[in-house]
Structure 1
């Protein structure tokens, strides 16, 4: 059994001290270099490895009933071959888990990321007629304007008929590339995190390296880049995909969640306290780092057409949002002064990792207007494509209009802090091209 068994949940102080962990995913820190990798999803394409995300299968007559009870999403007209961003909350309407849900068959579903374990835990507590198990799969994203060309070099049949947020089984043929030995069946899901046309490829983990290498081989003539961990989160920032552990903490750290975290540990989910907290925002209450779906920009996902955990708390928030998700453009002169302070005979400001935070922390920085706290900035990162330092921000609704000027406080509480001017901009910052008609591509 793990040394973490029966360990109490981490406090805010312990999470703030947990500044040594780097994310284990995405294969390498960099491949060709973070600038080229970052430009790829706008100009060519990339392949990125999200296989670290847990996957589970839920099957049985009561599977949909359980999912409907746990999730803010509607399940009306949720067809076989369709996927959705599923969000699960607690009674207070705060996010416990969110990730990808796919309907595989009449009573069979695939769950990715934290919903895999939250759903399994809630099933274990119930008498619903369903089964749950984890599965070992790979999960590769191939995203960008050339992604379709790359994949059409590999697969038997057309990908152009797959609607957005739908999926289909396809075959990568061994005669088309040298990287695989025998045809490999994979699932192609039309979605991704870059805000561009693209697909996720999923299949048995035993074929992961073969499929990865096949995509890399086919992508050489189309400028495909392999996406490393150093810059991967910039696509989440530009396309506004708030992320667990970066933009919010899941509501699993407070008293009363010990049983779930122990169950998760015993069922392959790992120890909860792997993230860290950083930034100028300070609170002793762990719940101040939790978020609801509306302030994450996911209001459209909340369907009040069914009973679900957290419905009462979210109904008012949907009607009258307290905070909204925006992008902040950070003033370049102020950002440059942070770096320049390293070359002056003075106590420097806390350095900014480039292009974004390299340790897996929720960096929460205070956002002020006339000295009053009006928001929290997260996911600070430099976009080489736009030549701007950006961040996401949950901000009081009255300050959410584009063009509103605010101030970000940069620097941890024990560091010299810098006031950085910032301007509210839309989220997503980059044009969303995920729904582009694939028949428009040559």
Structure 2
């Protein structure tokens, strides 16, 4: 069964992601610099979302996730992580507490939570609100959002939210920052999305705001080390009956799951990763019973993989493009700045002896750092920055190349998400 799943996913079509509104708005180099020099407006409204209401809502999330709920007031948010019995990630996304018994969650946690409600014994209901979700992130994000809202936002703590009004529309302003910079996610009724978007862009004009397109949107996740399912890891979503449920209940936008890269195994479990390997160990709290707890207790005491960034040797990348201008079979194309296809990439990482010591995920080109980078998960013995490794580039059965790579920290760029907003605020 496992081998057939792997074979199916290797041969699945590589579907293009339809999100973010366009491939580019100015150009991808300009857009990539926005979260260093100014800020961007990115549209994540394509993410799936559900609202969960009822007396068992908190119990549902507590029993299904690694996160602690000892402190979770109304107006707070968490990075929700849900695992299987083996401690491998099934789903992850943002969870917002909007009332005593009311929660909203976006991304793959919407799928899995709905599935748990459908098949569990919880006194809750779920609905699928139609809402926009805009991100404004970068050094000028606070100034832009304050101008759009017409009020100070310095009181909003990290991973907290409150209601503001933009273009006369009620909006939840959630402070986070997926680019590793100060940022706000703005959530509201999809019927008013265009009015709010226009107001943000108008407010941001003097601050150099850019719109973020599909070609470069995931580079901020790469630089800031935010692994994303379907790109930087394969989630375990193969429970009996779950796929038909997703197809029936959610619009999957034509996306199909696919495995890419040089790493080979007939066991689908070898492609799954735990929250510890993905760098989310701080979110794993053993103050409650949850699915996968026993496996994660064992792993956290003796981790087998550590999240790092790999810097590809630039000359090896140039050689890949050079093969397009030579006779014979070229190397597999390395798409820059980032592939637009929905592929869970897994390349084998080797040491000097040729032993596989980890997995390298989808590569991306950082125009700011002038490097091809990947989020990778390697044996802890090879996780020290500066360690040299090799990445096997090329799908099985094609011409392959060993790319030299250097281990670097993850996140690769400085994490500025929790910067003091009062220090950034403009004088009144």
Contact 1:324/1:395 (8 A) holds in 2: yes
* CA–CA separation in structure 2 for the residues paired with 1:418 and 1:277: 19
Q: Which residue of 2 aligns with 1:240?
A: 225
Q: 1:272 to 1:98 in 2, by over 3 A?
A: farther
Q: Which residue of 2 aligns with 1:70?
A: 64
Contact 2:3/2:267 (8 A) holds in 1: no
Q: Which residue of 1 aligns with 2:267?
A: 285
Contact 2:3/2:268 (8 A) holds in 1: no
Q: 1:126 to 1:360 in 2, by over 3 A?
A: closer
Q: How big is each residue's C-alpha offset from its partner over 1:108-150, in whole Å with a ceiling of 9 and x where there is no partner?
A: 1111111112112212223322221111110010000011111
Correspondence list, 1:153-168, <5 A: 153-168=147-162
Find 1:334's aligned residue among 316, 320, 344: 316
Per the TM alignment, residue 9 of structure 1 is displaced from its structure 2 partner at its CA by 12
Q: Which residue of 1 aligns with 2:209?
A: 224
The total of aligned residue pairs comes to 423
* CA–CA separation in structure 2 for the residues paired with 1:155 and 1:301: 32
Instruction: Give unpaired runs (5+ residues) of structure 1.
Output: 1-7, 174-182
Contact 2:13/2:256 (8 A) holds in 1: no
Per the TM alignment, residue 262 of structure 1 is displaced from its structure 2 partner at its CA by 2.1
Contact 2:17/2:255 (8 A) holds in 1: no
* CA–CA separation in structure 2 for the residues paired with 1:421 and 1:212: 43
Report the TM-score, using the length of structure 1 for normalisation: 0.93
Is 1:400 the counterpart of 2:391 in the alignment?
A: no
Is 1:304 the counterpart of 2:298 in the alignment?
A: no
Q: Which residue of 2 aligns with 1:95?
A: 89
Q: How big is each residue's C-alpha offset from its partner over 1:36-77, in whole Å with a ceiling of 9 and x where there is no partner?
A: 001101110000011111111111111111110001000011
* CA–CA separation in structure 2 for the residues paired with 1:309 and 1:272: 30
Q: How big is each residue's C-alpha offset from its partner over 1:381-410, in whole Å with a ceiling of 9 and x where there is no partner?
A: 110100111111010111111111100111
Is 1:25 the counterpart of 2:10 in the alignment?
A: no
State the 4+ residue runs in structure 1 displaced beyond 4 angstroms: none
Q: Which residue of 1 aligns with 2:330?
A: 348
Per the TM alignment, residue 261 of structure 1 is displaced from its structure 2 partner at its CA by 2.1
State the SS of the aligned residue for 1:73: coil
Q: Which residue of 1 aligns with 2:340?
A: 358
Is 1:387 the counterpart of 2:373 in the alignment?
A: no
Q: How big is each residue's C-alpha offset from its partner over 1:312-337, in whole Å with a ceiling of 9 and x where there is no partner?
A: 11101112211110000111111111
Q: Which residue of 2 aligns with 1:119?
A: 113
Contact 2:16/2:255 (8 A) holds in 1: no
* CA–CA separation in structure 1 for the residues paired with 2:240 and 2:355: 35
Report the TM-score, using the length of structure 2 for normalisation: 0.96
* CA–CA separation in structure 2 for the residues paired with 1:410 and 1:314: 31
Is 1:194 the counterpart of 2:188 in the alignment?
A: no
Q: Which residue of 2 aligns with 1:180?
A: none
Q: 1:63 to 1:9 in 2, by over 3 A?
A: farther
Correspondence list, 1:46-65, <5 A: 46-65=40-59
